[in-house]
Amino acid sequence: LLARSLFFANGAQWRHHRTGLSPAFTGSKIRSMFGLLSKSAGDAMNRLVVFSRGKPFTMELRDLYSKLGNDAMTSISFGVEVDSLTDPENEFFLKGKRLAKVDGLPGLKLLMTTILPGLYKFLRLGVLYKDVNEFYLEAVSTNIRYREKNSIKRPDFIHLLLQARKNKLNTEQMEDDEFQSAGFSTAETHTVESQRDATNETLQWQDIDITAAAASFFFGGIETTTTLLCFASYELAVNPTIQARLRTEIDNARAELVDGKTPTYEILQKMKYLDMVVSETLRRWTPFGLTNRRCT
C-alpha cells in the first residue's frame, strides 16, 4: 500500500496524488475534520474518567497516547470509531500498531526505501506485512461501498479522497484566506487537475489508491503525534513556568467556549503560545529525521 502512496510514489503518479491531495490540507478542509478530532479527544477524556473510577492511577504515557492517537487517526483516516483504551484488542488498534511499526525489520525496509530505492524496487520488497495490507484494503473498500450505497457523507479523509476521485475536491479561496495567519501548516492549492501516466492515460483514484493515501495519512500521523505528545509532556513537566503559562492560555480559551470544554478550530487558532510549545517541541525532538522527497 505505502508504495502507492504520496510518500513513495514518483513521476506522474506522484503528481497525480500530490495535486489531488493538496486541497485536503487547506484550512477549510482541516476545519471540517477538526470536529472528529475534538470528539475523539472528548470521548477519550470521558473514558479516562470512567477508567480511573474516581481514584488516582498510573499509566505509561506512551501507551496512553498511542491508544488515544490510534482512535483519533482511525476515525479521521478510515472513518471508523474505536475505543482502544477499554478495548486494546480491537483489530484497528492491533493492525495500526503493526502499520506504524518503524523498528526491527519494518524499520529497516523503510530505511531502504529512502536510501536505496532502486534496490528496494528491484527486490520487490514490501514495507507492510501482507495481512496488514489486506486488512486495510478490505476495510476501506467496504467502507467506500457502504457510503456510496447509503449516500453517507462524513467529514473525514475517506470522504475527501472520494471527492478527489470525482474531481470535486476543491475549496473556496475566500474560506482559506481566513486561516492564512493561523500559524499552522495548510496547503495553498485550490484546484485539481487530471494527471496522465507514461501511456498518456488519465490517472484515476482506485480503491487501492484511496486505501494507500488513507494508510499513509495514518502512518504519518500516529507515530509522530505519539512521539510529539510524549516529549511535550516531558518538557512541560521539567519546565513548570512554561506549563503554567500554557495552562493560563488554555483556561482563557476555555472561558470563550460555549460549554467550557469543547474546543473549536477558531479558538485553537488563537492559542499562539500552544503553537509555540508544539513548534519548539518539534524542533528539539524531531519525530522523523529523514525524508525521501526530491526537488522536481
The yes-or-no verdict on residue 117 having pLDDT over 60 is yes
According to DSSP, the residues that pair with 196 across neighbouring strands are 202
Percent of the chain clearing pLDDT 70 (strictly above): 72
User: What SS3 state is found at 286?
Assistant: coil
Q: Give, in order, the Cα–Cα distances in Å from 169 to each of 45, 50, 103, 217.
A: 33, 40, 35, 17
pLDDT tops 90 at residue 208: no
Q: What residues form DSSP beta bridges with 202?
A: 196
Q: d(Cα 32, Cα 156) in Å, to the nearest integer?
A: 8
Phi, psi of 196 (to 5 degrees): -120, 150
The per-residue pLDDT for 26 is 79
Q: What is the largest CA-CA distance in the chain?
A: 64
d(CA 7, CA 213): 9
- How many C-alpha atoms does 121 have within 13 Å on its Cβ side? 10
Choose the weakest-confidence range: 50-59, 89-98, 192-201.
192-201
Predicted local confidence at residue 173, as pLDDT: 46
The residues spanned by each domain of the chain are 2-169+206-224, 239-287
Give pLDDT, residue 193. Answer: 47
pLDDT tens digits along 165-187: 887 766 544 444 454 444 444 44
Q: What is the mean pLDDT of residues 126-137?
A: 80
- Looking at the chain, the whole-number percentage of residues with pLDDT higher than 90 is 31
- For residue 44, what is its C-alpha cell? 477519550
DSSP helix/strand/coil, 202: strand
Q: How far apart are CA 88 and CA 68, in angstroms?
A: 11
C-alpha distances out from residue 33 to 43, 95, 200, Å:
16, 23, 35
The CA-based angle 111-157-71, given to 5 degrees, is: 75
Lowest-pLDDT choice from 35-44, 96-105, 150-159, 218-227: 96-105
φ, ψ of residue 202 to 5 degrees: the values are -65, 130
Residue 285: pLDDT band with limits 50, 70, 90: very high
Residue 219 near residue 100 (C-beta atoms within 8 A): yes
Contacts of 262 (CB under 8 A, 6+ apart): 38, 42
Cα 70 to Cα 10, 33, 34, 171, 294: the distances in Å are: 28, 16, 16, 28, 30
CATH class label, 2-169+206-224: mainly alpha
pLDDT band for 200, please (50, 70, 90 cuts).
very low
Residue 201 has pLDDT above 70, yes or no: no
- Render pLDDT for 73-116 as a digit per residue (tens, 0 to 9): 999 989 899 999 889 999 999 988 887 766 666 667 666 666 66
Average pLDDT (43-47) is: 87
Q: What is the DSSP string of 54-85?
A: TS-----HHHHHHHHHHHHHHHHHHS----TT
Cell output for 170: 476543491
CB atoms within 10 A of CB 90: 17
* Maximum average pLDDT range among 1-5, 141-145, 180-184: 141-145
pLDDT tens-digit series, residues 228-284: 999 999 999 999 999 999 999 999 999 999 888 888 898 999 999 999 999 999 999
Kindly state the average pLDDT of the residues 110-134: 70
